[in-house]
Structure 1
Amino acid sequence: MSRTREAAPAGAAGPAVHPLRAWGDALAAVAAGVVTMWIVATLGLWAAGADDLPGGAFPRVVAATVVIAVGGDVELHGDAGFIAQTDAAIDVVPLSVTLAGALAVAFVFLMALRRRAVADSREVLGRVVRVAVLWLVALLVLALVARHTFRISLGDGIAEDIGEALGAAPTVGFSAAVGPTLGFGLLWLLAVLALTFLVSRRAPLPSRLLRFQESVRPPAHAMVLLLLAYVVIGLVIGLITLITNGHPAETLAVILLGLPNLAWMGLGLGIGGSYDGHVAEGVGLPMPNSLDAVLRTPGGSDTTLDLGTLMENDGRAWLLVAVAAVLLLAAGFLAAVRSPARTKPWQHAVRMAIALGLAMLMIGLLTRISAHYGLTVIGLGDLGGGLGGEIFLRPNFLPLIGYGLLWGLVAGFLGSLLARRVRHRGAVE
């Protein structure tokens, strides 16, 4: 008797993918991420005036910016011979470049898994491994390109004259550390792919993980949309500023390099978080006027950046609280709508609190700024002083995460109550 084949259930994992097709999908995801980040970084640095750098340095600076955007390590170094010293370091993430690359990688990666509800664990692992291998190759190329050296001027006066007479030619350069760049860049990719599976309704999960989707995916999805909403609001404000103020190039550079830095910092400040920092006198840094007024203190003393200090310079800062309240309530409502009807309000509150607390931790880590540079020639000048400068901005993590947990509890509970009449009863995404 012949055996009858049963039709595969709808949404089940599909047939095995041909290896060449799988490698092609992986190459498309990696290429989409690298090209997108390269374009955004190029336009942002061009708007910032980096295309005027000497010695064909512009593409190397673009490569360094992409490396930094994915968590790589770019070291600054200086050399001025035995009569001079140079010192410089920078730690800041261009989150516009980071976000653009992450969205591109996630979108193309998901395109290969569309029309599936469940994926085979081995297939998913194989796709991740292929993308990781090609990603490491791309990072290696970027790290090798991201290196250059510049000669810097000692300025007008006796320091320049003495330096030239004694043959001192101070230089400062940068180079990507290959090992840390590959390591941290790989972690960045894995985090992006993990977050993609965590929040996207189009991402098919292995059957063993299906039981987690109704408790994890709704708040995670809501958090991602919350962060993207802040970026969109910041983009609208940035475009209005670009049209109305007198510095369109600087504004465009901020949009293309650091828009999420400012937007997500606004979320943290709006819920009650704070930062410590300062900007040294004479150091140019494109930022909103109210932020610059708080951080640029006389003598370079440290100051606290929070809602109160912002309102002392701009009374409209209270809008940060209003925007946070509205968008967090919307996020809590959305998470409740996407959850099963049996989920209790206190469960929504706890899940939203955890999600927002983790989001605040991520924002604190990604929006830190630390940069300094200095030059001294036979005692003339001071590292980090007269011929240098320093910028730093450090979040206070305990208040930032604590307020995130509190606001998440309230938003989750109220959002659950609002969603009772519109929730699809018993439905699970």
Structure 2
Amino acid sequence: MSARPFPYQALPRPGWVWAVVAVLAGLVAMGVTAALGLWAAGAADLPDGAFPRVVAATVVTSVGGAVEFSGDAGGLAETTAGLTVIPLSVTLVGALVIAAAFLRPLRHRAVAGAGELGAWAGKVAVLWLLGLLGLALGARQTFRIPLGEGAISEIGDLFGLTPEVGFTTDVPVSLFFGLLWLAGVLLLALLVSRGAPLPGRLLRFQESVRPAAYAMVALLLACVVLGLVIGLVVAATRGHPAETFAVLLLGLPNLAWLALTLGMGATWDGRVEGPFGLPMPHVLDQVLRSEDVEAVDVGVLAEHDARWWWLVVAAVLLVLAAAFVMAARSPERVRLWQHAVRTAVALALTVLMICLVGGVSASYGLSVVGIGDLGGDLAGELFLRPRVWSALGLAVLWGLVTGFLGGLLARGTRRRGARP
């Protein structure tokens, strides 16, 4: 009598239909999130039916795509504009939906070959690139900049100025970073999910990598959930709900993960000039609105409002909880110093990711016959960038301490590999 095959061997491999579902679900979720956020921000009133193109550009930038700006104001004038920001709310929604759809056909398998996983990921990647290409080609528009009233308007009438600014996407760059983003999402999905199959050669790494990946993803999501609760309370109690929901739907992780690094002691440099402003919180906008570049940390913010010290308390609780979860999901035989080192490495990589995606840069201006600042809110600059090396050093220190403490707290829990 022949041996009965393992259950996972009899299951069909995921095909193109499910790949279409995965990619389409991700793009729709990202598009709806971006559209709602932009609608709350007032972008639905843009002229010439530009709203769908702005939504497409937002989705493209959410996966690392590049949007290029160009300006024209006639022979005697020049307009300039630039924007570098990732709407991480859209990014996070897309990552969660695509990761869940990618793992769904694999849920009944214990082991999968590298070729099978590569073929499944390749189908998703091909369809993803096609969808992203369509969005990148459709994300282009030109807007006219109103000159307002008074002297600025008179200068415009005198010289016949009609300043315009437009945006297009750098298609090759957008496709490259979009594919890189998808690869990161799929790899992280395999690492985080305990039930996801891995090739046999990689099974020996799952005991060290999977608990760390799960704990760091849980940490990031916990920060977002906490920020969402605070945002909803602000929307209900302080007015301006539309602006608050715009921030939640477009940039909630930007603020939540920035707050996490500030609570861990990191420093960010920034400056705000002109009509630009950070949507939330208002204290940060006040600190950065100066003539020189300002260094922002939790101590500087606490000088304006002592409640900012609660960021330190929140960071301690959240990072320690993540270290405990990581230790509780690790085998019993892992030693305390190993927990500490693994937590330090995982937390440093997490903070590095926040530093890479959390920066903001925006600028625009109008100059006439060499005069660069005409007033009337026709020029401005905003940027916020981290001090990466100091942030990584603090993350390593936090990881060593909380990893050791988390390992101690997890000693009383039942874990894999424990002796009866």
Deviates more, 1:54-63 or 1:155-164: 155-164
| TM-aligned CA deviation for residue 31 of structure 1 | 0.7
Deviating runs (4+, > 4 A) in structure 1?
12-16, 383-386
| TM-aligned CA deviation for residue 384 of structure 1 | 10
Q: Given the superposition, is the C-alpha separation of residues 105 and 181 from structure 1 closer, same or farther in structure 2, using an over 3 Å criterion?
A: same
Does 1:74 find its partner at 2:71? Answer: no
CA distance in 2: counterparts of 1:170 and 1:5, whole angstroms:
79
Corresponding position of 1:331: 322
CA distance in 1: counterparts of 2:123 and 2:399, whole angstroms:
37
State the one-letter code of the partner of 1:374: G
SS in 2 for 1:340: coil
Among candidates 93, 100, 108, match of residue 107 of structure 1:
100
Structure 1-normalised TM-score?
A: 0.94
Q: Given the superposition, is the C-alpha separation of residues 162 and 326 from structure 1 closer, same or farther in structure 2, using an over 3 Å criterion?
A: closer
CA distance in 2: counterparts of 1:385 and 1:29, whole angstroms:
48
CA distance in 2: counterparts of 1:14 and 1:72, whole angstroms:
40
| TM-aligned CA deviation for residue 154 of structure 1 | 2.3
Corresponding position of 1:369: 360
Is this contact kept in 2: 1:13–1:118, CA < 8 A? no
Among candidates 328, 335, 341, match of residue 344 of structure 1:
335
| TM-aligned CA deviation for residue 223 of structure 1 | 0.4
CA distance in 2: counterparts of 1:94 and 1:214, whole angstroms:
33
Q: After the TM superposition, which residues 17-416 of structure 1 pair with which residues of structure 2 at under 5 Å, given as runs?
A: 17=13, 22-297=15-290, 300-382=291-373, 387-416=378-407
- Can you give the 5+ residue segments of structure 2 that lack an aligned partner in the other structure? none
SS in 2 for 1:370: strand
| TM-aligned CA deviation for residue 296 of structure 1 | 1.6
- Aligned-pair Cα RMSD in Å: 1.7
SS in 2 for 1:112: helix
Among candidates 406, 426, 429, match of residue 417 of structure 2:
426
Is this contact kept in 2: 1:373–1:383, CA < 8 A? no
Q: Given the superposition, is the C-alpha separation of residues 408 and 385 from structure 1 closer, same or farther in structure 2, using an over 3 Å criterion?
A: farther
Q: What does the per-residue CA deviation read over 1:99-145, in whole Å, with 9 as the maximum and x for residues that have no partner?
A: 00000000111111111111122111011100010001001100111
Corresponding position of 2:3: 6
SS in 2 for 1:273: coil
Instruction: Give the total of aligned pairs.
Output: 419
SS in 2 for 1:424: coil
| TM-aligned CA deviation for residue 386 of structure 1 | 5.9
| TM-aligned CA deviation for residue 8 of structure 1 | 2.5
Q: Given the superposition, is the C-alpha separation of residues 174 and 131 from structure 1 closer, same or farther in structure 2, using an over 3 Å criterion?
A: same
CA distance in 1: counterparts of 2:380 and 2:246, whole angstroms:
21
Is this contact kept in 2: 1:339–1:427, CA < 8 A? no
| TM-aligned CA deviation for residue 29 of structure 1 | 1.0
Structure 2-normalised TM-score?
A: 0.96
| TM-aligned CA deviation for residue 13 of structure 1 | 4.4
State the one-letter code of the partner of 2:397: L
| TM-aligned CA deviation for residue 302 of structure 1 | 0.9
CA distance in 2: counterparts of 1:83 and 1:91, whole angstroms:
28
CA distance in 2: counterparts of 1:383 and 1:173, whole angstroms:
21
State the one-letter code of the partner of 1:183: F
Aligned sequence identity (%): 58
| TM-aligned CA deviation for residue 285 of structure 1 | 3.2
Q: Given the superposition, is the C-alpha separation of residues 186 and 324 from structure 1 closer, same or farther in structure 2, using an over 3 Å criterion?
A: same
Q: Given the superposition, is the C-alpha separation of residues 385 and 402 from structure 1 closer, same or farther in structure 2, using an over 3 Å criterion?
A: farther
Q: Given the superposition, is the C-alpha separation of residues 165 and 281 from structure 1 closer, same or farther in structure 2, using an over 3 Å criterion?
A: closer
- Can you give the 5+ residue segments of structure 1 that lack an aligned partner in the other structure? none
Is this contact kept in 2: 1:41–1:65, CA < 8 A? yes
Is this contact kept in 2: 1:106–1:192, CA < 8 A? yes
CA distance in 2: counterparts of 1:192 and 1:118, whole angstroms:
20
Q: Given the superposition, is the C-alpha separation of residues 390 and 14 from structure 1 closer, same or farther in structure 2, using an over 3 Å criterion?
A: farther
Q: Given the superposition, is the C-alpha separation of residues 403 and 165 from structure 1 closer, same or farther in structure 2, using an over 3 Å criterion?
A: same
Q: What does the per-residue CA deviation read over 1:24-75, in whole Å, with 9 as the maximum and x for residues that have no partner?
A: 1111111111000000000000000000100000010000000000100111
Is this contact kept in 2: 1:84–1:378, CA < 8 A? yes
CA distance in 2: counterparts of 1:276 and 1:385, whole angstroms:
27
SS in 2 for 1:389: strand
Q: What does the per-residue CA deviation read over 1:230-254, in whole Å, with 9 as the maximum and x for residues that have no partner?
A: 0000000000000001211110100
